[in-house]
Structure 1
Amino acid sequence: RQIVKAKKTPIIYAVIPDDLKRAFVAFLNRDRKFGDEHFYKTHAGSRKTLLWIVTEYPDVEINVIESSYTFDEKLQFSHVQFDTKERTIDYLTSKQMTESDIITLLKE
Structure 2
Amino acid sequence: MAALGMPAYAAVKPSAQSYGSKVKYSKGATLHFPDFDLTYIGRRKESSEVFKPGFTFEDFRVSQGARSDTVSWTSGTGLIVPRQFKFRGNTFQLMLYHGGTAGKLKSDELIVVKM
Q: The TM-score by the shorter chain falls in which range?
A: under 0.3
Higher relative contact order (CA 8 A, sep 6+): 1
> Greater strand percent: which structure?
2
Please report the TM-score for the alignment, with normalisation by the length of structure 2: 0.25
Please report the TM-score for the alignment, with normalisation by the length of structure 1: 0.26
